[in-house]
Structure 1
Amino acid sequence: MAATKAVTDSPKIESPVHRSSRLSYPWKRWTSGRMSAVGPVAAAPDRISEKVVESIKNAEVTCSEDPASGECAAAWDEVEELSAAASHARDRLKDADPLEDFCKDNPETEECRTYED
């Protein structure tokens, strides 16, 4: 009986509330039956940045009424996905070497020749 009482007297564990470092809207890591799907974005990085700004505004509006709702969590998930896509697009642009691009199209030119010892 003592072991049972100790278990029932223990404090309840609440699900954690996550806070974004940039925004003051809390949300929980659970969703309701309705979710929005986020697909890959095939746009230029500047266009992705515009979509990130739009999705942040949408998430703020969605979360203004009920910050713990599933719709709010889905809206912030969309922001996270678009932010990641924008970051990956910027990385791809940084890693692009103009000479490599040129040599893919023109492997026979003098600049693109490779010699083996």
Structure 2
Amino acid sequence: LNKSDFVEKPKSLLLERRIEVAIEEARSICAEKGVTSKECAAAWDIVEELQAEAAHQKAERLEKTAFDIYCEDNPEAAEARSYDV
């Protein structure tokens, strides 16, 4: 972290750090509680919300969020299933 980076982009740098921490926490929770647990789903919801906010601030769409990658890696998780209604 350079001083000039923080002065120019403090919000985005802090948000990126929050995303990193949230991903670590989500992985830890899922490892402890199981990939199909409500706690795991809630942890990945937090990651997804933070990444969406970061993308919104950058005014661009992420190709894949950490949650998308999680769903690909854990297709048995309820959150990974999508249903057409």
Q: TM-score, normalised by structure 2?
A: 0.55
Q: CA RMSD in A?
A: 1.7
Match of residue 19, structure 2, among 46, 52, 56: 52
Question: Which blocks of at least 5 consecutive residues in structure 2 are unaligned?
Answer: 1-9, 61-85
> For residue 78 of structure 2, what is the aligned residue in structure 1?
none
* Corresponding residue to 1:72 among 40, 50, 57: 40
Render the CA deviation track for 1:72-93: whole Å, top value 9, x for unaligned. Answer: 000000000000001111129x
Q: Deviations over 1:22-61 (max 9, x none)?
A: xxxxxxxxxxxxxxxxxxxxx7111111100000000000
Unaligned runs of 5+ in 1: 1-42, 93-117
Q: Which has the higher helix share?
A: 2
**What percentage of residue pairs aligned between the two structures are identical?**
38
Q: How many residues align?
A: 50
SS in 1 for 2:36: coil
Q: Is 1:86 paired with 2:49?
A: no
Please give the TM-score of this superposition, normalised by the length of structure 1. 0.40
Work out whether 1:63 is the aligned partner of 2:30. yes
